[in-house]
Structures are given as C-alpha cells and as structure tokens.
Amino acid sequence: MIAVLLLVAASSLRVTAVCEMWDDRGFVGSRPIKTAPLSVTNMTCSGENGKLPYHVYKLKQLTSLELQGNGLQGLPDKMGKLELLTHLDISDNSLSKLPKSLSLLTNLETVHASSNALSAIDSLSTMFELRELHLGGNELESIPEAFSNIGKQMTSLDLSENNLSELPDIFDSFSMLHTIDLSANRLSDLPNSLASDAVTAIMLRNNALSEAPQVLEQMPNLGQLTLDGNQLSEVPDFLPDADQLVYLTLGSNAIDPESLLSLNSLGGLRTLSLDNNDLEYLPEGFGVGLESLLLLDIRNNSLTRLPDSLSELHLDYLQALPNNFCGSLPNLQVAVSSDVESGQEFDACPSTPAPTIERTPVTETCYQEDIKYKGELIPGLKSFLRAETTDDCHALCDASLVLETSRRILDKVH
C-alpha cells in the first residue's frame, strides 16, 4: 500500500507542464515550455508542479503569459527579459516574493497575482501602464509609497484578503480608478486621496470600520458599496446623499434601526442587505422611497413584525428568515422569491406582561414604589417615594410626576 502511494506521489512530481501556445499565425499546440518555438506570443500553462523552467525567459515575443494554479514557489530571476509582456497571470500559486527583475516589465497592463503568499510587492512600482492589478489573498501588511507612480492608467485594484490596517495617502494620480476591492483586511479608515469622480465600486466588507470613512462622501458616482462585516452602529451620514447607489450591503454590523429611515432617499437602490444586525424592529415608514429596490435581505435579525410600509415595495426577492416573527405579516409584493408569504400568519405574539408596581412601606403613610417589568427593575428608572401628601415623605419630590414619566418610558419599552 505504502509503495503504491509513493509511486503515485513520485510520478505526480514528474508530470510535465503542458502549455497552450499561440503565435502571430494562430494556435501552435499544447506542449511543454521546453519545446516552445521562440515565436510564441501567448502561453497558458498548467501542471507545472512548483517550478517554472528557467528558459521561459528566452521566449522574448511573449505578450501574454498565464501561469495560474501551478503550485509555483518562485519565478525565474530572468523573467524581467520578457519585455513585451502586457498580460501576466501568476494567481493561485505559492509565491512568497517576486523576482526583482520583474520591475523591468514596464509594459504590463494587467497583473493577476491573487491567492499567493506575497508580503512584498515593490517590484510592481515601475509598471506605469497598469490597468488592472489583482493582489487579493496575499499577506500584505502595507502598500509601498512608490505605488503612487503606477496609478495613472489603473482602472481596477484588488487588495482584498490581505492584512492591511491602513493605506498610504498616495492615490492622487489614480484618476481612472473605478473599482477598488479592500474586503477582508483590518482597515479602520481610508486615505483622502482616494476621493474621485471615477470610483463606481468600493468593497469594504469585513474590515474594522466603526464609522464610514469620510472619503466615501467624495465619490459622487459610487454605485456599489459593501460595508457588511464592520462595526457600524448606524447608517452612515453621507449615504442618503449617495444618489447613484445601486448596490449596498450593511449586513453583520450593529445598525440602529431608527437610522434606517434615512435610506429611504435612495430611489435608485436595487439591492440592500441588512442581515445579521440584531435588528429588533424596522421603523414604520421604512422602504417608502426605495422605488427601485429589487432585493431586500433582512435575514438573521430579531424582528417580530414588519412595518406596513414594506407593502409599498415591489421586490423580486425578499430574504426574511430566520427572524422572530409573530402574528401576521403585512401584504408584500414579491415577484420572484421570498421565504415568507404576503400576510403570512405566525404563532400569536406572546402577550407581554404589564409592568408591576411593588410597594414597600417606609412609614405608615409613605411608600417606596418600584416599577418592575417581568420582575426586573427597569434600567434607568429610579424607585421613588409616594404618599398621600409630600409632607408624609419628609418633603421628598413630587412623586406623581415621576410616576407619569416612568409610565411613558414603560409604554415605549412595551
């Protein structure tokens, strides 16, 4: 058995990479790099098993090299000789660093290097023609200041799933950048130089934002914003004015339900997710104005009912379970799919016990009163003294006034 396993392991190590190759006249064939004619311009390889043949650098006509998913642990030092390269895909390998010579590849327009183990990317700082840079799923803890040089043409930047706690303030020249993915880092703020009319999508899910970064206010064409998985306690102030917004996720935060009404001004919004916010209610009036909304996700909160105002939405999709619904839901207009039905009946809501007043005599005519709800003194409510006349309680405060205020707070709790 062991011998068989060893044999299998040994033979899989010997698998020869097969690359699909093209030159100016068309498809050259599928064969190992070693046998590539020097004329090839485009090459896509799989099955390299950890090591790229050293002589790949001889293929000087290459404009496009795709090496994704080959288990590569390093790239040959002479990679920098492939001066005509405009497209390089080295994603999904095991690269922990890039060869210095890569900085000579100044014609590169797209670099895909996601899903590796890169902690340093300095050799990319000379690539002035970059349009797209994908570095998601690496081990970056910082971005070099020298990246300020490579932004003029850049339209798309992916730095998701790294370990960035801040970004340098170097983005002034990135005037064409429209898509920025910063998901799954440790960011608590963003630099102001990201402000730009060009930005249409910014992904910030799973970071450490306790407030929305101010620079988001200076992205007037923002259409897509993901803020789920942060520590927001209310709907950010600028959102009601983000009138180009189409896609917004606020799930897995701790959003104050009362602040949700401010979203009503987003008439162009199509997708809104508010899942996992521990919401106990949606305020009455919520949804009025969300005329374009097609998908609403309110899963996994603590909602017991839905406001009647939701019946004004014309949704395609409603995702509403699990929650703590009781009684009947309002009429809902959902075209395609929902996990609850319009007017659906749930078990009756548990009747909430009335608050109780407990009296403890202080003197014969004066009592201490505690208003309790479910046997507990309500936080923020003081016990007070009550008697036939104030004098009976030794000139203590006007107890009836206190009682009135307490009752109103109780009604609200209820």
Asked whether position 115 contacts ligand NAG by CB under 6 A, the answer is no
The answer to whether 101 touches 125, Cβ cutoff 8 Å, is no
Asked whether position 139 contacts ligand NAG by CB under 6 A, the answer is yes
β-strand partners of 30: 20
Q: Which of 64, 101, 149, 179 binds ligand NAG (CB under 6 A)?
A: 64
Rounded to whole angstroms, the Cα distance separating 295 from 275 reads 12
Phi, psi of 128 (to 5 degrees): -70, -15
Pick the closer one to ligand NAG by CB: 138 or 309: 138
Amino acid present at 99: P
The answer to whether 234 touches 211, Cβ cutoff 8 Å, is no
No. of H helices and E strands in the chain?
Answer: 2, 20
Nearest residue by C-beta to ligand NAG?
A: 64
Q: Which residues contact 4 (CB under 8 A, 6 or more apart)?
A: none
Binding to ligand NAG, residues 277-296 (CB under 6 A) = none
β-strand partners of 249: 226, 273
Asked whether position 96 contacts ligand NAG by CB under 6 A, the answer is no
As measured in angstroms, the least distance from the Cβ of 141 to ligand NAG is 5
As measured in angstroms, the least distance from the Cβ of 282 to ligand NAG is 17
As measured in angstroms, the least distance from the Cβ of 318 to ligand NAG is 15
Rounded to whole angstroms, the Cα distance separating 155 from 201 reads 11
In the numeric block, the tokens 């000579």 are attached to 104
Q: Which two tokens stand for residue 144?
A: 């070099």
Asked whether position 134 contacts ligand NAG by CB under 6 A, the answer is no
Pick the closer one to ligand NAG by CB: 40 or 246: 40
Q: Which of 277, 300, 309, 338 binds ligand NAG (CB under 6 A)?
A: 300
Q: Which helix (H) or strand (E) holds 10?
A: helix 2-13
Asked whether position 42 contacts ligand NAG by CB under 6 A, the answer is yes
Please tell me the count of residues contacting ligand NAG according to CB under 6 A. 14
Asked whether position 166 contacts ligand NAG by CB under 6 A, the answer is no
Half-sphere exposure for 140 (CA within 13 Å, toward CB): 28
Pick the closer one to ligand NAG by CB: 134 or 299: 299
Binding to ligand NAG, residues 71-90 (CB under 6 A) = 86-87
Pick the closer one to ligand NAG by CB: 87 or 178: 87
Site residues (vs ligand NAG, CB under 6 A): 22, 41-42, 63-64, 86-87, 139, 141, 163, 275-276, 299-300
